Amino acid sequence: ETGVTQTPRHLVMGMTNKKSLKCEQHLGHNAMYWYKQSAKKPLELMFVYSLEERVENNSVPSRFSPECPNSSHLFLHLHTLQPEDSALYLCASSRDRLAGLETQYFGPGTRLLVL
């Protein structure tokens, strides 16, 4: 148990569906991240929020839309996904402090299958 929770843990959706992934952290962190992990590929950073402002978007397609309403919650809204978007989506959080040497704490992930 890392203090980062994600729901749902598994999701199957059609290409025309709209769904949302939720992440919540109970660690008092100020930065939250979405990662995508596809089979046989490295973890890919999708979005970063620091103090609720998006500071990095690694050229992710617009069918993925993040939302960070406060420092404890992060959402990933999904619409008109493609089968190649099937992957494990991981949320992480960290302290947002340049002087600190912190690690990222990961949630358990959401296994997404797009049919």
Partner 1 sequence: EDKVVQSPLSLVVHEGDTVTLNCSYEVTNFRSLLWYKQEKKAPTFLFMLTSSGIEKKSGRLSSILDKKELFSILNITATQTGDSAIYLCAPSLNSGGYQKVTFGTGTKLQVIP
Positions in 31-60 near partner 1 (CB under 8 A): 31, 40-43, 45, 48, 50-51, 55-56
Q: Which is nearer to partner 1, 38 or 82 (CB)?
A: 38
Distance of CA 18 to the CA centre of its chain: 16
Piece of the chain touching partner 1 by CB under 8 A; list 19-27, 64-72, 79-87, 107-115: 107-115
d(CA 42, CA 9) in angstroms, rounded, equals 20
State the nearest-atom distance from the C-beta of 69 to partner 1, in Å: 18
Distances (CA, A) of 50 to 17, 79, 107, 113: 29, 24, 17, 29
- By CB under 8 A, residue 19 contacts partner 1: no
Spatial separation of the C-alpha atoms in residues 34 and 91, rounded to whole Å: 5
The residue type of 85 is D
- Residues engaged in binding partner 1 (CB under 8 A): 2, 31, 40-43, 45, 48, 50-51, 55-56, 88, 90, 94, 96, 98, 101-109
